[in-house]
């Protein structure tokens, strides 16, 4: 399998962390691709009409895109405990947290556009504040709901992976101080960040528009 990847994408990192947790990383060739809404990458567009990574290319079918779809595909390739639990309550708890994490990443990216990526004269402070409000509300909810991070020998679920990789990107880009005043979330993230899958997939690089 080949994974079109970007070293500073929270969505791409989610896929790679999932692959490491499942023990599938050795079956995947990771190929970095710079992508941006303002710079077309023809190789990525040829596989994903949205022009985004991650994209997973396998011989078994068409290229897969969207991190959630790719993670579910990887979860189908092994016979052990699943990232997406089968049990009803656990399944929808994990999927709900994955959706929350994806929304946080979307809000963080939108906030970063307004804070630094958009030309200064075109920035809209109310939009920046609105996105930061979403991040604050999401982090407040997590502070109430979060439980202890899984032990190193326990497979996390997809919601935990999505949350950890999203928070790592928020910290990497200094988008929002999610740990301030939230000791439970801060402790959860600190513990999850020590997992081998996280230490093997650190974020790096800058966006090129």
What predicted TM-score, i.e. pTM, was given to this entire model? 0.96
pLDDT digits (tens, 9 = 90+) for 60-116: 889 999 999 999 999 999 988 999 999 999 999 999 999 999 999 999 999 999 999
C-alpha separations of 152 from 121, 148, 195 in Å = 47, 12, 6
Q: What is the CATH number of the domain that holds 192?
A: 1.20.1050.10
Instruction: Give whole-number Cα distances, 120 to 113, 114, 115, 125, 170, in Å.
Output: 10, 8, 8, 11, 21
In sequence order, what are the beta bridge partners of 3?
30, 56
Report yes or no on 81 lying in a domain.
no
Note down the domain range covering 30.
2-75
Q: Say if CB 198 and CB 150 are below 8 A apart.
A: no
What would the two tokens of residue 208 be?
């090129």
- As separate numbers, helices (DSSP H) first and strands (DSSP E) second, the chain gives 8, 4
Has residue 204 been placed in a domain?
A: no
- In this structure, the answer to whether residues 140 and 66 fall within a common structural domain is no
Rg (CA), the chain: 17
Let me know if residue 52 belongs to a domain: yes
């Amino acid at each position: 399998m080949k994974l079109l990847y970007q070293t500073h994408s929270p969505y791409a990192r989610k896929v790679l962390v999932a692959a490491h947790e499942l023990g599938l990383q050795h079956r995947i060739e990771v190929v970095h691709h710079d992508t941006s809404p303002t710079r077309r990458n023809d190789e990525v567009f040829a596989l994903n009409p949205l022009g985004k990574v991650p994209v997973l290319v396998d011989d078994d079918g068409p290229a897969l895109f969207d991190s959630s779809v790719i993670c579910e595909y990887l979860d189908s390739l092994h016979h052990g405990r699943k990232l997406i639990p089968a049990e009803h309550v656990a399944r929808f708890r994990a999927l709900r947290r994955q959706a929350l994490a994806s929304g946080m990443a979307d809000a963080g990216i939108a906030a970063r556009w307004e804070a630094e990526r958009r030309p200064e004269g075109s920035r809209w402070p109310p939009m920046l504040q609105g996105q930061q409000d979403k991040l604050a509300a999401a982090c407040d909810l997590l502070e109430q709901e979060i439980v202890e991070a899984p032990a190193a020998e326990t497979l996390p679920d997809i919601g935990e992976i999505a949350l950890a990789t999203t928070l790592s990107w928020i910290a990497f880009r200094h988008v929002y101080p999610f740990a301030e005043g939230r000791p439970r979330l801060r402790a959860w993230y600190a513990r999850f960040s020590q997992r081998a899958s996280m230490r093997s997939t650190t974020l790096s690089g800058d966006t090129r528009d």
